[in-house]
Amino acid sequence: MSNPVNKTDLAFLKHFSMLIGFLVVVAIGLIALALHIYAGNPSPANTEHAKIVQARLAPVGAVYAGDTGRAAMLAAQEAAAKAAASQVAYGGTTDGSVIFGNLCQSCHGTGAGGAPKLTDKAHWGPRLAEGVDTLVKHAIEGYTGSSGMMPARGGNPALTDEQVRATVEWMIEQVK
């Protein structure tokens, strides 16, 4: 039997094998160079790593028993109350003018979204007739009417009910 591969095909296979071999050697060389460079410049350590691990390992809940447990439970409740108070908008102030100036002014000062301007007493008349409690309810829960819409808590969910009430009452005093 004769060889089924002719001389030109054999020459091509020889050159192609040499080319593939050369490319493999180049790839291995590049990998070795990359490993050498990476070993000389390690990635920076995460400075928050200890905190992340501690947060992952922290207990989800706690069991309180006896007087010691009661004291620990009260301390935990106080810490939770302080943390919640720090999340209240505008430092927890109930000064309506401060909240209005920081939040409500954007709509009630310009009339955006159909909001009645604080200076437009004609638009406030029908609203004032509904009563303070209704206005506060609309400010807390939000309201969509034919003349416009009021987002819940003025668009700031961190406002407390007391802050919203104080701001609505302040606005009513300004309109009268």
Cα angle value 120/141/133 (rounded, 5°): 60
Residues 134-161 have pLDDT tens digits of: 888 888 888 887 777 888 888 888 888 8
Quick one: which of 94, 109, 112, 124 has its CA closest to 151?
Answer: 112
116: exposed, middle or buried (C-beta count within 10 Å: 0-12, 13-18, 19+)?
A: buried
Question: What are the CA-CA distances from residue 9 to residues 30, 49, 93 (Å)?
Answer: 31, 60, 88
Average pLDDT over residues 61-65: 73
Residue bearing the bigger pLDDT, 46 or 31: 31
Find out whether 109 and 117 touch, Cβ atoms under 8 Å.
yes
- Full-model pTM: 0.51
The share of the chain scoring above pLDDT 90, in percent, equals: 15
Arch. (CATH architecture) of 92-175: Orthogonal Bundle (1.10)
Q: In sequence order, which ranges of the chain are alpha helices (DSSP H)? A: 7-40, 49-57, 66-86, 96-99, 105-108, 121-130, 132-141, 161-175
Listed in sequence order, the residues at least 6 apart from 127 whose beta carbon sits closer than 8 Å to its beta carbon are 116, 135
What are the sequence ranges of the domains in the chain?
A: 92-175
The encoded tokens of residue 122 equal 């004609």
Give, as one character, the DSSP assignment of residue 116. P
Give me the pLDDT at residue 22, please.
Answer: 98
Q: Which amino acid is at 145?
A: G
Quick one: which of 160, 38, 156 has its CA closest to 93?
Answer: 160
The encoded tokens of residue 9 equal 């095909």
Average pLDDT over residues 114-132: 83
Residue with tokens 């935990």: 76
